[in-house]
Amino acid sequence: MSTREGDPSNYIRKRESRAEHGQTRDLSYPPLPSALVVPCYDNHAHLEIADGDDPLDYLQQLDMASSVGIRGVVQVGGDLETSRWSAEMASKEPRMLAAVAIHPNEAPAYEAAGTLDDAIAEIDELAARPRVRAVGETGLDYFRTDESGRGAQHRSFEAHIEIAKKHDLAMQIHDRDAHAAVLETLMRVGAPERTVFHCFSGDAAMAKLCADNGWYLSFAGTITFKNADNLREALEVIPRDRILVETDAPFLTPIPYRGRPNSPYLVPLTLRFMADHLDTDVSMLAAQVSSNTELVYGSWDAEPVKQGGSPWDAAIDPAELA
């Protein structure tokens, strides 16, 4: 029996785009990077979306991630179908935790169909399921949603904030071209205890403001992009205990593979880039980010971790830290 062949029943969407920024994409998966010595996590991925000419399903992607030291993934939904899938898969797969939400660009469509309230009510139910540890991605997107859809977007965002607070879950924010409105909303209604800016896209000043409020910044492959000085400056000014890392797979693949399918096994590329930029050791950064990740989402392990603290303690080679 082969487990290495993509099983179409193990994903529910296929990314169709063959072009990005007007250029034809290379649809092959990048090679495996060398493994991290200190394991880490991917705190935001969409494993229900298969990508590339030869799609990898979620199990293959998790196996590859494990092989390079990525212990677990937060699988993120964006509508009812993907949120149900995320909750269901996380309940069976120890390397997966789930986040559930109606994405800010989906909220207007539900509103137009007259089903936004029902959809939010179902997200509230899904949020109570075991191993659903976050509400997300929710937030505001002024890039893809125009004026006419913003009322629904704001209403949905505020409802999701309430759901996160009610269930004491983390919240993952999608903020595209809407920094001021997202911050204003969080200040006005009060942010959940553990609030994460997924794929942080602001600048150093906004990063500081987020960190000062105790919020987390999750960096994606975009921080490796040539034109992303704002993200590198943001990384420099925040305390290390606010940093998270993600792929947003299958999107936002880090350099030198930009445009190709992304997958959690590529987290080491982004993490190494961040460590280089901070002039620190990648193992130190991985340990810090892992600890941050577990504080935000809890442990991935189905069984409570036994005495001795972090499950990866045994994996630290003191020579590497010397």
Residues that bind Zn ion (CB under 5 A): 248
Residue 46 Cβ vs Zn ion, minimum distance, rounded to whole Å = 6
Cα–Cα distance between 135 and 82 in angstroms, integer? Answer: 13
> Following CA atoms 117, 119, 120, 123 in sequence, which dihedral angle do they give, to the nearest 10 degrees?
160
CB of 111 or CB of 248, closer to Zn ion: 248
CB of 55 or CB of 250, closer to Zn ion: 250
Residue 35 Cβ vs Zn ion, minimum distance, rounded to whole Å = 25
Residue 283 Cβ vs Zn ion, minimum distance, rounded to whole Å = 27
Residue 36 Cβ vs Zn ion, minimum distance, rounded to whole Å = 22
Residue 137 Cβ vs Zn ion, minimum distance, rounded to whole Å = 5
C-alpha distance from residue 201 to each of 17, 193, 216, 223, 316 (Å): 23, 21, 13, 9, 32
CB of 76 or CB of 282, closer to Zn ion: 76
Q: Are 45 and 248 in contact, with CB atoms under 8 Å apart?
A: yes
> Following CA atoms 236, 237, 242, 243 in sequence, which dihedral angle do they give, to the nearest 10 degrees?
-20
What DSSP line would sit under 110-172, residue for residue? HHHTT-HHHHHHHHHHHTTSTTEEEEEEEEEETTTS-GGGHHHHHHHHHHHHHHHHHTT-EEE
CB of 248 or CB of 294, closer to Zn ion: 248
CB of 110 or CB of 312, closer to Zn ion: 110
CA atoms within 13 A on the CB side of 14: 11
Residue 220 Cβ vs Zn ion, minimum distance, rounded to whole Å = 9
Cα–Cα distance between 282 and 266 in angstroms, integer? Answer: 14
Return the closest-CA partner of residue 196 out of 44, 4, 40, 36: 44
Residue 261 Cβ vs Zn ion, minimum distance, rounded to whole Å = 14
The closest residue (CB) to Zn ion is 248
Phi, psi (degrees; rounded to nearest 5) at 171:
-125, 130
For residue 289, the cross-strand partners are none
CB of 249 or CB of 287, closer to Zn ion: 249
Residue 136 Cβ vs Zn ion, minimum distance, rounded to whole Å = 8
Residue 264 Cβ vs Zn ion, minimum distance, rounded to whole Å = 13
CB of 69 or CB of 78, closer to Zn ion: 78
CB of 97 or CB of 287, closer to Zn ion: 97
Please measure the distance between the N-terminal and C-terminal CA atoms of the chain and give it in whole angstroms.
44
Burial class (CB in 10 A: 0-12, 13-18, 19+), 227: exposed
CB of 38 or CB of 269, closer to Zn ion: 269
Token representation of residue 32: 């495996």
